[in-house]
Chain A
Amino acid sequence: MASYSTHPGGPSGALPARSAHDEPNRKGTNDPGTVLGLIATGALAATAIGVATARARQHDRDRRPPDDAPARTAVRNRMGDYALVGKTVTINKPKAELYAFFRDFQNLPKFMENVRAITPRAEGDATRHDWQIRAPGGRTVDVITEVTEDREGEMIGWRSVEGSDIKTTGHVAFKDAPAGRGTEVELVIAYDAPFGAAGRMVAKVMQAEPHIQARRDLKRFKMLMETGEIATSQMHP
């Protein structure tokens, strides 16, 4: 996960010229439209400067050697057509205990707000599961996953298989935190968002954006593991 490159080109390349060609008809110097024209020219100039700056920044990024930060924290964050989200949280519990709770996938809806239910495909099948995920607009996305990697106490990886509504792959990794602080838990999910960028935008408005969801879900996991409950300011159950 750490070494893919965040470039190339990017969407910024498509924007500049079109607005220059679309500039409205020129009018006489005394026309009140002149003021608007000047403003429009100013706006175009600002856009041009913005685009040039963005290109310069991209060029600068392309020239730099990679750093040690996780790829998902890059300022441009894509993996081909996939969106990539990931979060790390430190939980004050031993990794064996956290792994065991997570490995029973039926526990995940307890802290994953948008996961309605996870059920084994067959009685006793610990590798293939049906996930019912809440999606924007009250819909449900069904995903079938198979466990692709399972290292006890260390890591669980999964990916979606044929018959799923979206393509997704993810892993959770557990490693000892420094200075006896418990376990660093890293959750990484790459997904092909429904309806691409527009879908993500709608989802973001509805707070179902996976990036926010991953952070919130991990924090709920932490609360449940550290305190046995999930904090709420509700006055009633």
Chain B
Amino acid sequence: MRALTWHGRHDVRVDNVPDPAIVNPRDAIVKITSTAICGSDLHLYDAVIPGMKKGDVLGHEFMGEVVETGPKSTLEKGQRVVIPFTIACGSCFFCENDLYSACDNSNPVEKQDASEALYGHAMSSLFGYSHLTGGYSGGQAEYVRVPFSDVGPQVIPDGMSDDEVLFLSDILPTGWMGAENADIKPGDTVAVWGCGPVGLFAVQSAMIMGAGKVIAIDHYPNRLRLAKELGAEVIDFKLTDVREALMEMSGGLGPDAVIDAVGMEAHGFTAGNMLDTVKQRFGIGADSADALRQAIMCVRKGGRVSMPGVYGGLVDDFPIGALMEKGLQVKTGQTHVQRYTADLLKRIQDGEIDTTFLISHHLPLEEAPKGYKNFHDNQDEWTKVVLKPH
């Protein structure tokens, strides 16, 4: 089959790779009908996530049609399914407590040693996202092997288009959990760093959860326009002193909750951020965390910090004093996708949430490298790329 494979920094190619097959009893094989490039795929494209191997098939946002099932799968051939990017067994302590991205049993044992050394514990596997999280082949391909297919996949009713439901695989639940982790009370002022897909969905989710005012921060005019259309007030950090503005826009108090939807490759021109970027480029371990630093400095005393943005290593100059002295609460983590899919599908069906506004480009799978390049280089116009393998 054809698949998008990783070969190094800014080097991805569509290659021939062997078709996947049923390996374990609970597996299913899904024929991919739509698959998106995620902002976190750009961390792989920039080669700042450890544990990648040449030839790895990328892609963790995908959906398609069930074409083969293992003896213990509960799916049926022909069903349309969206697949959560976190692979979870459904029966360990963590899955039973809805902490699916902490699943004990999806990360192959021999792959767990490195993440135990790096993080203290091994996390669940993710599709198409480095051997630290399992090394499973991803969905930017014609077919994919889906382990634990009786737990993760969300069956999609007839009559809903791929574009309406594809983002249930990752970015919609990730934006939703980002807002949920901000513990929003009615009337709260919520500031969101980053108007990429997750940031925009966090804006949308925060509104639904009752925020009085949502302030979105970015520097891409088109993305700020999208945030504005969702009802947010916006700050362009190239025009405005962010902290000063947030204080003034929140009665001198600071936002009640802040959401870092940027993560480890923050853009910006502060000294701290440029130093982070240099260290990251030379592989000496530092994540670039300027959005997070700023969020912690801006949030009000006793406020809440939510971090859906991805970090993978260590960070320098972390404002630990502000965190402690201001008595902040922090919630973060890879998304527990399976916790949210059914509820969010219903909200889409009811017309409460629309995600199609985000898609800027549809491309055949063969043009995936072009999609990566443009999504990376021209983030203002290429807000979301959906690939069509068939």
Using a CB–CB cutoff of 8 Å, the interface residues on chain A facing chain B are 90, 92, 181-182, 207, 212, 216, 219-220, 222-223, 226-237
Contact = CB atoms under 8 A, between A and B. Distances in A.
B109 A233 contact: no
Given A92-B96, A222-B104, A227-B148, A232 B24 contact: yes
Interface residues of B, number: 33
A230 B106 CA distance: 8
B95 to A, nearest CB: 9
Interface in B46-80: 72
Contact of A229 (B24, B109, B134): B24
A222 B20 contact: no
A63 to B, nearest CB: 30
Contacts of A182: 93
B89 A226 contact: yes
Interface string B88-116: 01111100100000001111111111000
A235 B20 contact: yes
A226 B136 contact: no
Given A92-B91, A182-B93, A231-B125, A226 B105 contact: yes
Contact of B113 (A92, A212, A233, A234): A212
A20 B211 CA distance: 71
A235 B26 contact: no
B21 interface: yes
Interface in B18-41: 18, 20-26
A184 to B, nearest CB: 12
B334 interface: no
A228 B25 contact: yes
B197 interface: no
A235 B93 CA distance: 27
Contacts of A219: 104, 109, 112
Given A181-B93, A226-B91, A231 B20 contact: no
A94 to B, nearest CB: 14
B108 A233 contact: yes
A227 B109 contact: no
A231 B26 contact: no
A234 B125 CA distance: 13
A236 B21 contact: yes
Nearest to A218: B109
A148 B198 CA distance: 58
Can you list the 3 inter-chain pairs with the closest CB atoms, starting with the nearest? A229-B24, A235-B20, A233-B135
9 contacts: A182-B93, A222-B92, A226-B104, A227-B89, A227-B90, A233-B125, A235-B21, A235-B137, A237-B22
B336 interface: no
A230 B104 CA distance: 11
B137 to A, nearest CB: 6
A231 B147 contact: yes
Contact of A90 (B25, B93, B135, B136): B93
Given A222-B105, A223-B105, A228-B72, A233 B92 contact: no
A223 B109 contact: yes
A207 B112 CA distance: 13
B145 interface: yes
Nearest to B133: A233
Contact of A237 (B21, B90, B109, B148): B21
Given A181-B93, A212-B113, A219-B112, A231 B107 contact: yes
Given A222-B92, A229-B72, A233-B111, 8 more contacts: A228-B26, A231-B24, A231-B106, A231-B108, A232-B108, A233-B134, A235-B18, A237-B22
Contacts of A90: 93
Q: Which of B22, B24, B105, B145 has the most CB of A within 10 A?
A: B105
B23 A234 contact: yes
A233 B137 contact: yes
A231 B109 contact: yes
A236 to B, nearest CB: 5
B145 A235 contact: yes
B112 to A, nearest CB: 7
A182 B97 CA distance: 14
Contacts of A230: 24, 109
Nearest to A89: B104
A216 B105 contact: no
Contacts of A232: 23-24, 108
Nearest to B94: A92
Among the interface residues A90, A216, A229, which one has the most CB atoms of the partner chain B within 10 A?
A229
A90 B148 CA distance: 21
A92 B25 CA distance: 20
B86 to A, nearest CB: 13
A227 B21 contact: no
B149 to A, nearest CB: 12
A223 B135 CA distance: 18
B26 A229 contact: yes
Contacts of A220: 109
A226 B91 CA distance: 6
Q: B91, B109, B112, B113 — which one has the most chain A CB atoms within 10 A of its CB? A: B109
